[in-house]
Amino acid sequence: MDLFEYNAKVTMAGDAPLADRMRPRTLDDFIGQDEAVGEGSLIRQAIASQRLFSMILWGPPGCGKTTLARLIARASQARFVEFSAVLSGVKDIRQVIQEARQQRDHHHRRTLLFVDEIHRFNKAQQDAFLHHVETGLITLIGATTENPSFEVIPALLSRCRVVVLAPHSLETLAKIVDAALADAERGLGKWNCRMAPEAMDFLVRIADGDARTVLNNLEMAVALHTSQHESPPEAAPVCIQLADIETVLQKKALRYDKSGDEHFNLISALHKSLRGSDPDAALYWLARMLAAGEDPLYVARRMVRFASEDIGIADPQALTMALNGMEAFRFLGAPEGELALAQVAIYLATAPKSNAVYTAYKGVQEDIRRHGTLPVPLHIRNAPTDLMKDLGYGANYRYAHDYEDAFVAQQYLPREIRTHRYYHPTERGYEKTVNKLLDRWRRLMQKTALPESRQDPEDA
């Protein structure tokens, strides 16, 4: 019997996947997440005192959110209702609320409502919970892989506690694998298998902290290795080798949501690696994003922004390099064009750094907010008509190219902020040269500046 026949046999028998079969039956059987559900935790105390509270379980896929919700319901003896935000709407919520009211009034029984992927509910759908969570008609447990601060409306979030569940550690995943291999009733114990150390190490590392992934991969590996056996072996334990795991896992499917937290975590890692002048780390995070399916042009746009924000005039070629890399990718496409993005990442990481352009622009924006729309000084206003010239538009303006080195002492800022300086170049890269030029021009300004009455008729 080959692997596909084995899978068909399992499906026809109506067996659930290993990850579902191995869900713990009590909190004591729950492996991992000690901070959230271990002895002395808030959840344990709430169950012991029968004082459940509404909560949002926030964590990555396969960390135990659904399992934990079911265990809480079982331990509290509450009526458990489970549905997915992907498939349900306001009508379904109203039906649940009506049934919860009947259970409370007729049977004195609480309702624990578990909403998987609660972040997919829109504002109106989330609003439907508010009053009933507030009055205690339902105890809400929402599960989300996204940051609740962004995806759950504030009114609902304030009525729930956020319980953070971390990705499973390698040690925890190994314990989960061992439990599945040893369990003859629900797991794979009947096959009398064990894992070679290097196979176990690879299996748990490739799961990326996801218990569901590690169990699914384990089940496939055991199926592959035992596909030639019609009945469980009675001899020595079968050893699952690294080659078995590598055969099943042709390629790692990276956990990545282009609109979620992991997306922003990775682009943040890339940006900070570039800023920190670490080309190796920059290349790694760039490759991670591309391998996970991120739009390469999004990454290219972020590097164009970086060239201005974190390098600026310290290396004027950085912006040109970033734009050229983006155009090269457009021309070549994937995967050939990815090398151009890698070249850009290395160039930006090793270029001299300056945020002087960024801070200068922020300073200007702050002055605009503080002072509003200050008038343009008369001497630099456009004067296309005789009336405007009569009003003083353009009067006393001095054309820079008529002077030595194309520089003339002249004011260009509004009077109220005339002494403000926004751009403060560093002593790194080309900005060191710019600094010298600015110092020279400012000395000339101080030496040859005209009185305000001659510089701007508006001030007279």
**Span 112-125, average pLDDT:** 91
Q: Is residue 338 part of a domain?
A: yes
Cα 207 to Cα 61, 169, 176, 252, 373, distances in angstroms: 11, 10, 12, 8, 57
Residues 285 and 393 in one domain: no
Residues 66 and 153 in one domain: yes
Residues 243 and 267 in one domain: no
Residues 202 and 109 in one domain: no
Residues 183 and 228 in one domain: yes
pLDDT category at 1 given cuts 50, 70, 90 is very low
Residues 212 and 242 in one domain: yes
Q: How many domains does the chain have?
A: 4
Q: Is residue 45 part of a domain?
A: yes
> Which CATH number belongs to the domain containing residue 147 in this structure?
3.40.50.300
Residue with token string 């690879």: 202
Residue with token string 């590598």: 246
Give tens-digit pLDDT for 7-52. 554 453 447 899 999 999 999 999 999 999 999 999 999 988 989 9
> Which CATH number belongs to the domain containing residue 396 in this structure?
1.10.3710.10
Residues 196 and 235 in one domain: yes
Q: Is residue 10 part of a domain?
A: no
Model pLDDT, residue 14: 45
Last residue of some domain: 301, 316, 350?
350
Residues 244 and 274 in one domain: no
Question: What rounded mean pLDDT belongs to the chain?
Answer: 88
User: Which range of residues forms the domain containing residue 142?
Assistant: 33-164
Q: pTM of whole model > 0.75?
A: no
Angle ∠(429,432,436) on CA atoms, nearest 5:
160
Q: What percent of the chain has pLDDT over 70?
A: 90
Give tens-digit pLDDT for 120-133. 999 888 998 899 99
Residues 415 and 342 in one domain: no
Model pLDDT, residue 118: 93
Lowest mean pLDDT among 236-245, 247-256, 313-322, 395-404: 247-256
Q: Is residue 3 part of a domain?
A: no
Q: Is residue 7 part of a domain?
A: no
Q: Is residue 356 part of a domain?
A: no
Q: Is residue 23 part of a domain?
A: no
Last residue of some domain: 148, 164, 180?
164
> Which CATH number belongs to the domain containing residue 185 in this structure?
1.10.8.60
Residues 194 and 265 in one domain: no
